[in-house]
Structure 1
Amino acid sequence: MEDASYEGEEEKPSEKAADEKKPRKRKTESVKLTKAKKKKKECFVAQEKQDTAEDKGVEKPKKRRKKKNITDALAASEPKPGCAADLQELLRDHYADKLSIIELEELQLPDSCFLARNDLSHSLSSYLKEICPKWAKVQKNHAIKRSVVLLIICSSALRTIELIKQLTAFKGEGKVLKLFAKHIKVEEQMKLLAKGVAHIGVGTPGRIKALIEKDGLTLDALKYVVLDWNWRDQKLRRMVDIPEVKVDMLKLLETRIIMGCRAGTIKLGLF
């Protein structure tokens, strides 16, 4: 009996020892985990420091400033009516590096050739009535084919049609021709000019110049040239702000129109 009790007592301490050992293992495992986490944190911190150091060393691309286009610039400014000095300056700037001093002087327009400018309060008809008060008599006396008395130069076909509609109150019995390239062949326009007497021509500088060069349109009866100077399109551009239109217009003026202005037979107006 004593032996049996002794054996039972011997077994109990061994179980306690086993129980005591188990939590120690858990503690060591938790310690290892915390150390591993610390190491990971240290690695992340070190990596972040390295990244920031690299970022400092590399220059970031500078942000480009958005350039103001002509639409933005014009939208912020008040409209200003064109004047004779504007056209003179345009001619001078465009031909400054292309022509000699003597040739530039030949392009100089006398002040006497300029008609009253549009102060932005006029419609086309009211402006034409002001600069040509004796239109009824002028149109009655005109009988030359392939030539017009009044030439209105604008930037596009759509603008041409719009201006022709505005001529109703002015033209009287005068015949108006549209002189642009869109959907109309130059040969067709030459036939129309040769067929009967036309009093007013409205169109783009490129097509008008082409008609003059092909001898479909002459300047024999021409008395008035009106530039649609102040009108702006949807992008707020005038005809002189559109490069190809500006070049065509200047070339057209150079084709005997400036010569006629200097001779006193042609008058220029900026509408």
Structure 2
Amino acid sequence: MRKKKTITDVLASSEPKPGCPADLQSMVTLYFSDKHSVIEQEELALQDSSFLSCNDLTHTLSSFLKQVCPKWSKIQKQHKEKSSVVLLIVCSSALRAIELLKQMTAFKGEAKAVKLFAKHIKIEEQVKLLQKGITHVGVGTPGRISALIEKDGLSLKALKYVVLDWNWRDQKLRRMVDVPEVKLDFMKLLESGILNGCKEGKVKIGLF
């Protein structure tokens, strides 16, 4: 008897295709299709102009960030807002966030980065940390980032770049958006002000 193929089998045998704007655009459209009116959906739609260039799977995180944020050192020096970051990197887990923080050392220079996930870190501590000094980069999970925005612990005022850890797969070969609870948190995060920022032309999204 032939064994039924699981998603893992299918993914293991297929060549990974890098994510592109259309992937996120169609996901957003589908997700909001039964939650909002047509007019609201149009408001929430992501335009092509809201995207940075995508990772063609040859990049490290640092080389990708250098490509999409070429003026980083200048932007970083100009950033003076407390409780707000310029660059937000969204990934599926605390472990992955720590890995990404290590990977961006070559890019970040003098910039201060903060971990924004729930594992072993109380939300109150993160709120205090963000209030205390100037933080340039936030790396974390959509659930905790959304919670911080809700609590006014994290403001999107200075936000310019949202980089999604889109192409990476976990041991079960799932991307961040293939994990139902992470995807749900991610959609809530987009709704919490990121889509508005994109619409106003203040925020750009990159798929890493």
Question: Deviations 1:157-211 (Å, cap 9, x if unpaired)?
Answer: 0000000001110000000000000010000000000010000000000000000
Residue 206 (structure 2) pairs with residue 238 (structure 1): no
Residue 56 (structure 2) pairs with residue 119 (structure 1): yes
Residue 94 (structure 2) pairs with residue 165 (structure 1): no
The letter for the 2-side match of 1:132 is C
Matches within 5 A, 1:248-267: 248-267=185-204
Larger RCO (CA under 8 A, 6+ residues apart): 2
Q: Measure the CA separation in 2 of the matches of 1:231 and 1:210.
A: 24
Residue 118 (structure 2) pairs with residue 207 (structure 1): no
SS in structure 1 of the partner of residue 46 of structure 2:
coil
Q: Unaligned 5+ residue runs, structure 1?
A: 1-62
Shift of 1:134: 0.7
% identical aligned pairs: 71
Question: Deviations 1:139-161 (Å, cap 9, x if unpaired)?
Answer: 00111100000000000000000
SS in structure 2 of the partner of residue 225 of structure 1:
strand
After TM superposition, the score normalised by the length of structure 2 is 0.98
The letter for the 2-side match of 1:150 is L
Q: Measure the CA separation in 1 of the matches of 2:144 and 2:75.
A: 25
Question: Deviations 1:222-257 (Å, cap 9, x if unpaired)?
Answer: 000000000001111000000000110011001110
Match of 2:74 in 1: 137
Q: Measure the CA separation in 1 of the matches of 2:133 and 2:3.
A: 54
Match of 2:126 in 1: 189
Q: Measure the CA separation in 2 of the matches of 1:86 and 1:71.
A: 20
SS in structure 2 of the partner of residue 269 of structure 1:
strand
SS in structure 1 of the partner of residue 5 of structure 2:
coil
Match of 1:151 in 2: 88
The letter for the 1-side match of 2:66 is K
Q: Measure the CA separation in 2 of the matches of 1:72 and 1:228.
A: 22
Moved over 6 A (4+): none
Shift of 1:66: 4.3
Match of 2:10 in 1: 73
After TM superposition, the score normalised by the length of structure 1 is 0.75
Q: Measure the CA separation in 2 of the matches of 1:110 and 1:137.
A: 27
Shift of 1:68: 2.2
The letter for the 1-side match of 2:99 is E
- Structure with more of its chain in helix, by fraction: 1
Q: Unaligned 5+ residue runs, structure 2?
A: none
Higher CA-based Rg: 1
SS in structure 1 of the partner of residue 35 of structure 2:
coil
Question: Deviations 1:39-69 (Å, cap 9, x if unpaired)?
Answer: xxxxxxxxxxxxxxxxxxxxxxxx8x74322
SS in structure 2 of the partner of residue 144 of structure 1:
coil
Q: Measure the CA separation in 2 of the matches of 1:122 and 1:251.
A: 28
Shift of 1:98: 1.9
How many aligned residue pairs are there?
Answer: 208
Name the CA shift for 1:141/1:237 in 2 (closer, same or farther; >3 Å). same
Question: Deviations 1:77-115 (Å, cap 9, x if unpaired)?
Answer: 000000000001111112222221111111111111100
Q: Measure the CA separation in 2 of the matches of 1:244 and 1:158.
A: 17
The letter for the 1-side match of 2:49 is S
